[in-house]
Amino acid sequence: MPASQAFPLVTVAGDAYAMGVQHGEQAAPLIQRYLLLIERVTQLSRDVLCRNALRFVPLIEALNPAYLQEVRGLAHGAGLSFEEAVLCQARAEAACRNDEGCTAFALAGSATADGRPLVGQNQDLEPEYGDVAIVLHVRPDDGRPRALMFTFAGQLGYMGLNSAGLALFANALYDYTGQLGLPKYPMKRTILEQPDVPTARRLLQQHRLGSANNLVLADRAGRVADIEVRPEGLAEYAGVHADGRLHTNHYVTSEYAPLETNSLPDSCPRLDRMQALIGAQWGRITVEALQAVLADHAGDPGGICRHGAHGFHTVSGYIAEPARGVLHVRRGHGCLGSWTSYAV
Residues 88, 116: Cα–Cα separation, whole Å: 35
The domain limits of the chain are 98-343
User: What digits encode the pLDDT tens for the residues 283-326?
Assistant: 999 999 999 999 999 877 668 999 988 888 999 999 999 999 99
Residue 1 pLDDT more than 70? Answer: no
Residue 247 has pLDDT above 70, yes or no: yes
User: pTM here?
Assistant: 0.95
- pLDDT at residue 332 in the model: 95
pLDDT digits (tens, 9 = 90+) for 253-294: 999 999 999 989 999 999 999 999 999 999 999 999 999 999
Residue 2, pLDDT > 60, answer no
Long-range contacts (CB closer than 8 Å, 24 or more residues apart) made by 258-266 = 259/175, 259/176, 260/175, 261/174, 261/175, 263/174, 263/175, 264/101, 264/174, 264/310, 265/302, 265/310, 266/299, 266/301, 266/302, 266/306, 266/309, 266/310
* pLDDT exceeds 50 at position 24: yes
**Domain 98-343 sits in CATH 3.40.50.1000:** no
pLDDT tens digits along 71-103: 999 999 999 999 999 999 998 888 766 677 899
Question: Above 90 in pLDDT, residue 236?
Answer: yes
pLDDT of residue 96: 66
Mean pLDDT of 127-142: 96
Mean pLDDT of 137-142: 98
* Consecutive H or E run containing 67: helix 65-78
- The separation between the first and the last C-alpha atoms of the chain, rounded to the nearest angstrom, is 18
Is pLDDT above 60 for 51? yes
How far apart, in whole angstroms, are the C-alpha atoms of residue 257 and residue 211? Answer: 16
